[in-house]
A and B are shown apart, each in its own frame.
Chain A
Amino acid sequence: MSALGVVGFTLLCAALAVGVMLPGGLLVAWALARRQWPGKSAVETLVSLPLVMPPVATGLLLLRLLGRRGWLGRPLEELGLPIAFTWRAVVVAMAVMALPLFVRSARVAFEGVPRRLEQVARTLGASPWRAWWTITLPLARRGLVSGVLLAFARALGEFGATILVAGNIPGRTTTLATAIYTHEQLGEDAAAFRLVAAGVALAFAAVWGSEWLLRARRAEGSRAGGGA
């Protein structure tokens, strides 16, 4: 696969990974920010684990879960939906590794929305869903988008978990990170550095965008503080 093909495949998988983890990530972040429930601290820890565990360990656990003989992998395989060592495994590995970053950003974003505003919306006749959609979500949007960008950047660079659960199959599961590794192993420095340059540019854009949004949110927050 050409360098462009690898970059395109990685971008696509990272975008899918963010899409896959987004609904669950939003729900978990909101529940952590706004609700008290039994097992909250356990879920909080579990969600953050991939951030601190060695990525290969996460990958190995995913392989046990999603491999051909895994708890989930076997039934999915029987349904004609193999996961391990396919592009789907790339997406799953990226999603799992990106989730903690998104949840942390989203949680802070939700916590920054004054609860009083949601309560007032409820007294004005809004259902919980409408209050969330029209008040909470728009007021948290910058933090959420910043979290999406960080998660996307994390997914783009994913290596350890991906190589365990998806392998490094040229044209099928090779991503930017695994391709750099392969080129380096083969002594193809020029090809490796072309991909490194692409990776740095993409990561820079995502992190810069995320930081810009956070700065804008802080400025907006300080302006809106009196009205909240």
Chain B
Amino acid sequence: MRLELEDLRVPLAAFDLSLSTTLEARVAAVCGPSGAGKTTLLEAIAGLRRCTGAVRLDGEPFQDARARLAPAARRLGYVPQEGALFPHLDVRRNLFYGAARAHDVDSTAAHVIAVLELDPLLDRAVDALSGGERQRVALGRALLSGPRLLLLDEPLANLDPPLRERIRGHLLRIRDELGVPMLYVTHDARDVAHLADTVLRLERGRLVEQGDPQQLLEPDPGALRFRGDRPGSRGDRLRPA
């Protein structure tokens, strides 16, 4: 993917999210302390928040000075932190909610269901799912809508470490087998290390660092943090899983 953000500005209560950058990556991780504007960035790209500036994906303008595409027309798969499954629909109907706009639904569906191991869940009610199952269904639902980019907002945040490891494996398969690019908000250094080929670091709405995770992150897996950060110098930084 090539995601261009040009003078993107979203007013927030304490500060404005304001950044310009171009991302060329399969998976770009967005990091930074809580309240830095990470979720706002995803919402702005998805068209769920009013913003100014320009957003382009692979050359197609989502918004610029002249026009603004509706969220439905952007073909993005947005997975919020809590999954946001539709509680009145069963798993199958959740999965296929956005499938109408996807091309070649049948083969995509079979592949997505296989990759995320969703087959045993299809006829279950949403409130009968565990946390990890919910996240897999939310990922599957986004993928079945035929997205050009997945916007993932800390999809593993509420899961315990073994489950997190397992879903991370699913995300790797999405990246490698389905070839869907991702913009991935995370606090988890292992996510960055395993999945991302670019990392962005936001602080108070500003882009403070961007580049190769290998170069920006300390190599010691026990103390994963950005190079240049003194240990303990900030309360909320990347933490190991």
Residues of A within 8 A of B (CB): 114, 116-117, 119-127, 134-135, 138-139, 220, 223-224, 226-228
Contacts and interface: CB of A to CB of B under 8 A. Distances in A.
A139 B87 CA distance: 8
A71 B61 CA distance: 51
B97 A227 contact: no
A139 B77 CA distance: 22
Contacts of A116: 80, 82, 84
A224 B126 contact: yes
A123 B78 contact: yes
B33 interface: no
A124 B87 contact: no
A125 B87 contact: no
Q: Which of B72, B82, B100, B141 has the most CB of A within 10 A?
A: B72
A126 B84 CA distance: 15
Interface of B is mostly: loop
A126 B87 contact: no
A116 B126 CA distance: 16
Q: Which of A122, A227, A228 has the most CB of B within 10 A?
A: A227
Nearest to A119: B48
B126 A227 contact: yes
Interface string B92-121: 000001101100000000000000000000
A116 B74 CA distance: 17
A228 B126 CA distance: 10
Interface in B118-143: 126-127, 129, 134, 141-142
B85 interface: yes
Interface in B64-80: 70-72, 74-78, 80
A226 to B, nearest CB: 7
B82 A123 contact: no
Nearest to A121: B97
Contacts of A122: 47-48, 70-72
B186 interface: no
Given A124-B98, A126-B97, A226-B82, 5 more contacts: A117-B84, A121-B97, A124-B142, A125-B100, A126-B98
A3 to B, nearest CB: 42
The bracket for how many chain B residues form the interface is 20 to 34
Contacts, number: 80
Contacts of A121: 86, 97
B109 to A, nearest CB: 14
Given A116-B82, A122-B48, A223 B127 contact: yes
A138 to B, nearest CB: 5
A228 B82 contact: yes
A135 B75 CA distance: 19
25 contacts: A114-B84, A116-B82, A117-B84, A117-B86, A119-B48, A120-B80, A120-B84, A121-B86, A123-B46, A123-B98, A124-B101, A124-B145, A125-B72, A125-B98, A127-B72, A134-B97, A135-B86, A138-B88, A139-B86, A139-B88, A226-B82, A227-B83, A227-B84, A227-B85, A227-B87
A227 B72 contact: no
A135 B89 CA distance: 9
A121 to B, nearest CB: 7
Contacts of B129: 227
Contacts of A120: 78, 80, 84
Task: Identify which of A114, A124, A228 gathers the most chain B CB atoms within 10 Å of its CB.
Answer: A124
A119 B98 CA distance: 13
Given A223-B127, A224-B126, A226-B127, A123 B86 contact: no
A123 B71 contact: yes
A151 B83 CA distance: 36
Nearest to A224: B87
